[in-house]
Structure 1
Amino acid sequence: MMLVALVTGCAQPFPEVEDTFEARWKSNEYQAQAYLIPTADEAFSRRVDLVRNAKTTIDMTYFSWDKNTLGLMLLDELKQAADRGVQVRLILDDLLIFNEKWLAELSQHENIQIKIFNPFNSRKIGWMGRVFDFAGNQKQLDNRLHEKYFNVDHHSMILGGRNIGDEYFGFSKDANFFDMDTLFTGEIIKPFDHNYVSLWESEYVTPINELIAVKGDSQFRQFDKAYAKERKKNSHILAVIERSVSNLATPNAIDVEVTPVFDSLHKLHDNKPYFRARAERTISEHLDNAKTAIISTPYVVPSDGEFRTIDRLRSNNTDVTLITNSSASNDSGFIPAYYEKHRTTLLQKGVNLLEYKDNAINEDHYYHADTYYHNKTVILDNTLTYIGSSNFDPRSDNLNIEFGVFVNSPEFAEQIEHYLLSKKSKLYWQVALNKEQQPVWFSGDTVTTNNPNYSGMHKATHWIFRKMNAESEL
């Protein structure tokens, strides 16, 4: 909270972007097989199964990797793969990595390499050190790595919104995310291999052992101790995962055409929206001709005060459905503060608005605790679907390194829409405007003009957050 308060207190301005920006960028289409992973536990089990069957390489990129049951279990599976001779490479963003010796120990393995993206200088005194580090180096440290990427043997890769940790797969007792992953095979792997090498060999990643010192004879002591503690405390969770792995069937993948879009590392110097511009140019014709659009993002924040893509769609009478978090379900304390003032604007534009309930129950979650919406996708005309890491918010556009794919397949689009909306009445509030132009929330027989579970305390803190004028950082 201290770091975010500092960030928002000195938010960077939106960069000037010329109309011809990235006009020469060309997209390429690849053949692939796509399998929408249908449940949270299978999303984790697929990763475990791929690691156990890996023959040569495993390449990964994540924004966060938690030191909890699933995070440590998957790292242990990777260590066992490395023992068999598999070459393991992992790139992690540095925002949530401090003096993590348990993680640095793994990079001592002869077949495991871990690199850290855009590292902070402060590491041993927690968030207080990060605050002062950021205060003096904001322009350098504001850019973060947001990709979520899991590639085994250059044959199978998983893309989606999930990081690695209990809460991304329904196993947290405190709070879980409603999220989505897709398994891809085929020609689409090649451009992602190339993108990974470019990042791995860039100046923006640093070997973890140059940042976190561990004893040469540690023999994974801190990692093994941490994992042993989790195994003892949550042996029942590990048993559930093992059953899920053993019950995996051959993925029922479908043939699709896929267009990848990657960000540019030049973003670290000019903060320009490379990924956003490339994505919009890739689907420009679809945006201008779409009859229907479903946009799913956990964080609704306009770029420079405008919803340009939604305006573009609505100017062509496109039927636009926006799925996002409600004020009470958002995992960010800051996003709802700003979303509150944009809800009515979106409804006045004619957007069909669905807000995720803070008490929504996802049947594939092992624990039913607080739940947040984390899906990132766009579906145009029930045919073209976006899968990737970007939330299409200012931080994704101008600060984070992102990537994604556009899948051209009516069958795949139908699967994604069913994944998001098959339990519409249970998971979402339908929001509309009444005659007084005030929001009204509908769900079944329930109708309310009071923002559901949005308390007076929320209103007070959000008023303070809005005074920080921080939209460009969110």
Structure 2
Amino acid sequence: MNLPLIVIALILLIIVWFYLDLTLGRKKHRSLFSKRETPILHGDFDIFPHGKGLFADYFHELKMAASHIHILFYIVRDDEFSQQFFDILKAKAKEGVEVRLLVDRVGSYKVRKPAIKELRNAGVQFAFSNRLRPPFLFYSSQVRNHRKISIIDGKIGYLGGFNVGKEYIDQDPKLSPWRDYHLKITGESVPFLQREFFIDWNEYASDNVVVDSRYAPRQPKGTVPHQLVPTEAGRLEDKYFYLIQNAKKSITIGTPYFIPSKKLIHELLRAAKRNIKITIVVPYITDHMLVQEASYRYLRMMLKAGAQVFQYKNGFYHAKSIIIDDHLCDIGTANFDKRSLFLNKEINCYFFDPAFVDRFRDVLHADILDSKPLKLEDLNKPSFFRSVKEGIAGAISFFL
């Protein structure tokens, strides 16, 4: 057998291996994930659309912790702002507060061994989530823990789209100001958030923690009805499909990456045929290669169906939200893309209070005012390089 045939055979073998690894790994993952969601609970919420305001509040609450601090982030950078975060955690651990920090192996790859050693020497318990796991090495390399949650003393929770790094407090010239949505939570669902943290912690850390009333004390009832829903291994697609299918008047989607599955784009198009008003808010600038080009084919479909698309221009739009009619909204960690739908571990909060939906609608409306409408003719202007990038992005959109 000559060399070219050997090379072709090896390439085909690698492609088959990738396909089998991805397919079987996802099937195994889906079989292991048990549906977890709260009943309708009641709590109180602050919404933070700006990083400076969020982290001023967040760092204050961390410094006030008396018992324990449990944190999960997808991204923690290696910069001056991240060092402030680490310094707070180390100081609290030295005071005797139990501090646990769990970060995604890929998203937080910049957290180096010296920083980890300093944290551990100070008493912080540190672990990486989503390490490579045989036998499905390719699949496990693609799964990300995209959740961003914090629990302080079992009484205060945080959940949303912000990570820890200078760009999130408007110190990146290209991406500033950074627009996102993050929730501060008190009330009945904080103990559930605590238990959810330990499900992820126990999967990857060396110790195995049993969650009791010490970690998850019962909390008083708040005023806003809501539900927390963690998802992974494709379960989010089912949730979004249900929301779209049951819309009666309007659907508003805010997302940095609009790359829906075939099932969801078809359901959105059916909703448009039912005369549901559909509004989509996406960034004007991008923070990753090809994600914008991957969205264009879907945005064309939606524009042709009569949807309105707005591109946010006052910085970078990284927010994740859905509003259905006047009675439901979703704020969480999940993007409206295939990676969040099928590969990432996510957690979203669904609100069922018309007053809260109105309150959040005002936040989203302000973002639309800072956006420009995207027209179909804008996407249809001839561009050879854009067409090439769209072709590449379409081929790998599952992993973007």
Normalising to structure 1: TM-score of the pair? 0.69
Counterpart position of 2:179: 178
Counterpart position of 2:255: 297
Contact 2:160 2:332 in 1 (8 A): yes
**1:356 aligned partner, one-letter code:** Y
Contact 1:157 1:183 in 2 (8 A): yes
Counterpart position of 2:45: 34
Partners of 1:185 and 1:461 lie apart in 2 by 48
Runs of 4+ in structure 1 deviating by more than 6 angstroms, as ranges, are 13-16, 22-26
**1:338 aligned partner, one-letter code:** A
State which of 99, 113, 116 in structure 2 corresponds to 1:104: 116
Distance 1:35 1:314, change over 3 A: same
Counterpart position of 1:274: 235
* Identical pairs, percent: 20
Distance 1:27 1:40, change over 3 A: closer
For 1:256-271, what aligned pairs fall within 5 Å after superposition?
256-264=224-232, 267=233
Contact 1:93 1:116 in 2 (8 A): yes
**1:158 aligned partner, one-letter code:** Y
Bigger drift between 163-172 and 102-111 goes to 102-111
Partners of 1:295 and 1:85 lie apart in 2 by 43
**2:389 aligned partner, one-letter code:** H
Structure 1 residue 59 displacement after superposition: 0.9
Structure 1 residue 439 displacement after superposition: 3.9
Counterpart position of 2:219: none
Partners of 2:155 and 2:258 lie apart in 1 by 35
Counterpart position of 1:353: 309
Q: Residue 72 of structure 1 aligns to a residue in which SS? A: helix
Bigger drift between 187-196 and 457-466 goes to 457-466
Partners of 2:79 and 2:318 lie apart in 1 by 20
Distance 1:263 1:149, change over 3 A: same
**1:261 aligned partner, one-letter code:** V
**1:76 aligned partner, one-letter code:** D
State which of 335, 339, 345 in structure 2 corresponds to 1:395: 339
RMSD: 3.3
Contact 2:130 2:144 in 1 (8 A): yes
Structure 1 residue 199 displacement after superposition: 1.3
Counterpart position of 1:86: 97
Bigger drift between 457-466 and 384-393 goes to 457-466
Normalising to structure 2: TM-score of the pair? 0.80
Partners of 2:36 and 2:347 lie apart in 1 by 15
Higher relative contact order (CA 8 A, sep 6+): 1
Partners of 1:169 and 1:322 lie apart in 2 by 25
State which of 335, 339, 343 in structure 1 corresponds to 2:291: 335
Contact 2:49 2:179 in 1 (8 A): no
Distance 1:168 1:25, change over 3 A: closer
Structure 1 residue 34 displacement after superposition: 0.9
Counterpart position of 2:398: 472
Query: Which ranges of structure 1 fall in alignment gaps of 5 or more residues?
Result: 1-5, 17-21, 122-132, 209-253, 268-272, 361-370, 441-448
Counterpart position of 1:407: 351
Q: Residue 342 of structure 1 aligns to a residue in which SS? A: helix
Contact 1:25 1:278 in 2 (8 A): no
Partners of 1:74 and 1:99 lie apart in 2 by 12
- As a proportion of its length, which structure holds more helix? 2
Structure 1 residue 58 displacement after superposition: 0.8
Counterpart position of 1:248: none
Structure 1 residue 207 displacement after superposition: 5.7
Contact 2:254 2:281 in 1 (8 A): yes
Q: Residue 275 of structure 2 aligns to a residue in which SS? A: coil
**2:398 aligned partner, one-letter code:** S
Partners of 1:76 and 1:173 lie apart in 2 by 25
Partners of 2:329 and 2:264 lie apart in 1 by 23
Partners of 1:180 and 1:24 lie apart in 2 by 25
